[in-house]
Structure 1
Amino acid sequence: MSNGAEPSRGLPVPLPPWSGSQLRRLGRALREGEASAEGCPSYPDVMLHYNDLATAVNDELRALDWDSLLGPAGRPQITSRAKTLTTLTSWSATRGPPSGTCRSEA
């Protein structure tokens, strides 16, 4: 993981080093057209973290014995994709911030 955070609770990648309130402040700044917010992670750092998470989860899922789980149905196709900043801010502006929370190790 490139952001330097420590792994936690057996997750495939470390928890993000920012809090939920920092992420919400960044989201507000991005919706208002600002590139960043003071005391918050950068959008590229957030995207890098979640890209690393998606890759790690994808690797874990690909390693499962799908034949024993699904029988002759075979392996599912597992994909992920990142949203562009434009798509994310447009979506967020019409629906508000996501209801999920982020946790900080600090």
Structure 2
Amino acid sequence: MPESFISPEIRIPCGKPKRNNIIQKLKDILNELDRNYSDLDGIRIENEKGWYLVRESNSEDVLTVRLEGYSQDNFNFILKDLSNIMGTAGVRLPIDNLIAR
């Protein structure tokens, strides 16, 4: 199997009303950028470099984020892209010292 680079689960604390607002902002931003995404269980973007998922936890007051790149460079690209999009939505993605495993 090809090697992939996967983030640990990133947990961003926030209450339900704020989570709903963030998810809607992310959809609006992605629509403006004309990006295709699935919103079946959160927001999932897939492309030739890998994927990312942002979803609301059903059991805790957190957003959970995961991402995977099909190479270390792809992982870094996806992480930067996701961080920029989350930042536009008003959420700081805690990426300091994030290492793919």
Do both share a fold (TM > 0.5)? Answer: no
Instruction: State which structure, 1 or 2, has the greater radius of gyration over its C-alpha atoms.
Output: 1
Indicate the structure with greater strand content.
2
State TM-score, norm by structure 1: 0.30
State TM-score, norm by structure 2: 0.31
